[in-house]
Structure 1
Amino acid sequence: MSYGVAGAGLHRWTLDEEAAAPFFRQAVELGVTFWDTANVYQGGSSEEFVGRAINRFSRRADIVLATKVSGRMHDGPGGGGLSRKAILEQVDASLRRLGTDYIDVYYVHRFDPETPVEETMRALDDLVRAGKVRYLGASSMWAWQFAKMQTAAVVHGWTPFSAMQDQYNVLKREEERDMIPMCLDQGVGLTPYSPLAKGRAARPWGARTTRSSSDVVAESFDRDVDEPVVNAVQAVAEARGVPMAQVALAWVLAKPAVSCPIVGATKPHHLSDAVAALDLTLTDDEITALESPYRPQENYWW
Structure 2
Amino acid sequence: MNYKLLGRSGLKVSELCLGTMGFGTEGGWGADAATSFAIMDAYANAGGNFLDTANVYKLGTSEKIIGDYISNHDRDYFVLATKYTLKDNVTNPNASGNNRKNMMRSVEESLKRLKTDFIDVLYLHIWDNITPIDEVLRAMDDLIKQGKITYAAISDTPAWVVAKGNTLAELMGWSQFIALQVEYSLLARTAERELIPMAKHFGMTVTPWAPLAGGALTGKYLKGDKGRIKPESNRLNARAEKITKVVMEVAAELGVSESHVALNWTRQQYFSCIPIVGATKVNQLLDNLKTVDVVLNADQMKRLSDASAIELGFPGDFFNEEAVKNNSFGGFYDRVEKR
TM-score after normalising by structure 2: 0.82
Q: Does 1:148 align with 2:185?
A: no
Is the 8 Å Cα contact of residues 77 and 85 (structure 1) preserved in structure 2? Answer: no
Q: Does 1:277 align with 2:277?
A: no
Moved more, 249-258 or 225-234: 249-258
- Alpha-carbon spacing, 1:93–1:205, altered in 2? closer, same or farther (3 Å): closer
Superposed CA offset, 1:78-109 (max 9, x none): 31111111111111110010000011110000
Q: What amino acid is aligned across from residue 24 of structure 1 in structure 2?
A: M
Distance 2:107 2:85 in 1: 10
Residue aligning to 1:9: 22
Moved more, 8-17 or 278-287: 8-17
Aligned residue for 1:151, secondary structure, equals helix
Distance 2:98 2:236 in 1: 33
Distance 2:276 2:31 in 1: 20
Structure having the higher Rg? 2
Residue aligning to 2:300: 286
Distance 1:110 1:277 in 2: 29
Residue 241 of structure 1: which of 255, 259, 266 is its match?
255
Identity %: 34
- Alpha-carbon spacing, 1:185–1:96, altered in 2? closer, same or farther (3 Å): same
Aligned residue for 1:221, secondary structure, equals coil
Residue 34 of structure 2: which of 18, 24, 33 is its match?
18
- Alpha-carbon spacing, 1:66–1:217, altered in 2? closer, same or farther (3 Å): farther
Displacement of 1:10 after TM fit? Answer: 4.0
Is the 8 Å Cα contact of residues 8 and 41 (structure 1) preserved in structure 2? Answer: yes
Q: What amino acid is aligned across from residue 280 of structure 2 in structure 1?
A: T
Q: What amino acid is aligned across from residue 88 of structure 2 in structure 1?
A: M
- Alpha-carbon spacing, 1:186–1:178, altered in 2? closer, same or farther (3 Å): same
Distance 1:254 1:217 in 2: 31
User: 5+ unaligned residues in a row in structure 2: which ranges?
Assistant: 5-14, 313-339
Q: Does 1:228 align with 2:242?
A: yes
Displacement of 1:213 after TM fit? Answer: 2.9
Aligned residue for 2:71, secondary structure, equals helix
Count of paired positions: 295
Residue aligning to 2:280: 266
- Alpha-carbon spacing, 1:295–1:282, altered in 2? closer, same or farther (3 Å): closer
Superposed CA offset, 1:43-101 (max 9, x none): 11110011112234x31110000000101112324311111111111111100100000
Moved more, 16-25 or 182-191: 16-25
Aligned residue for 1:8, secondary structure, equals coil
Displacement of 1:16 after TM fit? Answer: 2.7
Is the 8 Å Cα contact of residues 59 and 88 (structure 2) preserved in structure 1? Answer: yes
Distance 2:107 2:285 in 1: 29
Is the 8 Å Cα contact of residues 202 and 244 (structure 1) preserved in structure 2? Answer: yes
Is the 8 Å Cα contact of residues 228 and 293 (structure 1) preserved in structure 2? Answer: yes
- Alpha-carbon spacing, 1:93–1:221, altered in 2? closer, same or farther (3 Å): same
What does residue range 181-192 of structure 1 map to in structure 2 within 5 Å? 181-192=197-208
Distance 2:232 2:21 in 1: 15
What does residue range 109-188 of structure 1 map to in structure 2 within 5 Å? 109-188=125-204
RMSD: 2.0
